[in-house]
Structure 1
Amino acid sequence: MSQHPSKPVIEVRQVLKTFAGKREVKALEAVDLAIGAHEFVSILGPSGCGKSTLLRIVAGLTPYQGGEVSVNGRAVMGPSPEIGVVFQSSNMLPWLTVRENMALGARLRKLPESVWAPKLEQLMGMLGLKGFEQHHPHQLSGGMRQRAAIGQILALDPQILLMDEPFGALDALTRDRLNVELLRIWQEQRQTVLLVTHSIAEAVFLSDRVLVMSGRPGRVVKEITIDLPRPRRPESIKENPRYGEYIAELSSLMGVFKDEH
């Protein structure tokens, strides 16, 4: 693994995870990674390699059997207000409006409205949800529901954003648009982001680094630093020869195509 100039915000050292059952399944073995402050890092790997399990371990949602996981130098013992998690499904409550859903986490934490209400108004504009505050989830498109779900987490002002295939269920065009939105939000907010994705192009477009995991039991087998200029815009980045080279390199690592020589 490469060395990072800043002290890591997220550290995973030799993590082991097994699932018990009739036949024990080893999901993760000797996983190491380190993510610095304000980095945007993506994880790629084959289906079933433990990417989502690893994300849930960092979030404090899933226990593990060996190794160490720390955030800001403290061992992860459970969920933390420093960490926000966005899943593939929006998890919005159907009987609440967009505004009520986005405020829900802050209300549950009993944060004063004077603290979260101005933030909520800013997020509504940033996420393109102005005018939809009183709509219910079923009245929104899939892309708008995911934007609201991201807003629900950002309203809590987490230092770290963990994202598990947040746009995986959306059509390609909506996914591309939301990638641009996500990048714009990150460039404004500068959280530390760890994204699990199956999309090589998404990982290259968004990330500072891409970590490639092996098949089960999953472990990090390669790290690729994405040296593309920021701010990134699809029309300019996709014309950059390095963009295509990164996609080709990661496609080869992921076994998308085999070297015939």
Structure 2
Amino acid sequence: MLHQVLPKPVAAASLPAISARAVLKTFAGKHEVKALEAVDLEIRPHEFVSILGPSGCGKSTLLRIVAGLTPYEGGEVLVNQRPVNGPSPEIGVVFQSSNMLPWLTVGQNIALGAKLRKIPAAQAAPKIAALIAMLGLKGFENNHPHQLSGGMRQRAAIGQILALDPQILLMDEPFGALDALTRDKLNVELLRIWQEQRQTVLLVTHSISEAVFLSDRVLVMSGRPGKVVREVTIDLPRPRRPETIKQHPRYAEYMAELSQLMGVY
């Protein structure tokens, strides 16, 4: 039996947390590459949105533009109604490879951002301890990254970002290098974290099942130059568990629709 449906987190009239209008990105060089052309999107506050698209379509480039890490030539990108001109403390980014420093322990890595922002250790300590427990890393605080499994390293990498209290979480294939079983387990963990913290999340993924399981909406991008060509609203009840949601009749419909859009069949 499906769990009770959570209430909608925001009103439909809320201003978007992320918006892009006619975004253009071209990489110059011997052979100029037009990565993005006329990209439009809107992400509402507290929404979980995934981006699907073929390899090389500009998904990661778009994410880096929203993060303020990559400049763009045309159009407009706004975060909380302000133009993106560079990295912002409102935004946290999780990449496919963890950015943990090998000479620091798990606890020290998770606390690093707070330390760099000169947040007093006594003030940061309770939050770091709560994050470690929430991420299932209690007992591993004094381990170094090489002593963790791949899945644990990615959980710790997410903890590094959550310790900074970002309003918006951008994730670029964070579980793409993991085996299927570990990836499925971390999808459940990510969903649990989001349901507790309710950041606005924009996730880049190649996995259709991951996008359907996690998302409120899925944006499908075209081949290069990439642009958003379809939006699919995932109207499945929350909170979601794999053993229940994958038996929901609409789950198979969304999988089929997105597989067709992605050219799987």
Q: 2:12, 2:65 → 1: CA distance?
A: 22
2:106 is the counterpart of 1:98: yes
1:78 aligns with 2:72: no
Corresponding residue for 1:121? 129
Runs of 4+, deviation exceeding 4 Å: none
Tell me, in whole angstroms, the C-alpha distance in 1 between the residues paired with 2:132 and 2:239.
Answer: 22
1:245 positional shift: 0.4
Give the drift of 1:116. Answer: 1.8
Identity over aligned pairs, percent: 82
The answer to whether 1:54 aligns with 2:62 is: yes
Shift of 1:6: 1.5
Q: Distance in 2 between matches of 1:53 and 1:8?
A: 20
* Partner of residue 44, structure 2: 36
- Counterpart of 2:210? 202
Equivalence map 1:220-239=2 (5 Å): 220-239=228-247
Which residue in 1 is equivalent to 2:193? 185
Aligned to 2:182: 174
**How many residues end up aligned between the 2 structures?**
255
What residue ranges of structure 1 are gaps of 5+ in the alignment? none
Corresponding position: 1:253 with 2:250: no
Number of the residue aligned with 1:145 = 153
Letter in 1 for 2:210: E
SS at match of 2:17: strand
Deviation at 1:233, TM superposition (A): 0.4
CA distance in 2, matches of 1:222, 1:148: 33
RMSD: 0.9
1:219 aligns to 2:227 (yes or no): yes
Q: Which runs of 5+ in 2 are unaligned?
A: 1-10
1:158 alignment partner in structure 2? 166
Amino acid at match of 2:240: R
State which drifts further: 98-107 or 196-205: 98-107
Structure 2 residue identity aligned to 1:222: R
Match of 1:17 among 1, 15, 25: 25
Amino acid at match of 1:42: S
Q: Distance in 2 between matches of 1:197 and 1:115?
A: 35
The one-character-per-residue Cα deviations of 1:35-86 (angstroms, maximum 9, x if unpaired) are 0010000000000000000000000000000000011110001000000000
Counterpart of 1:240? 248
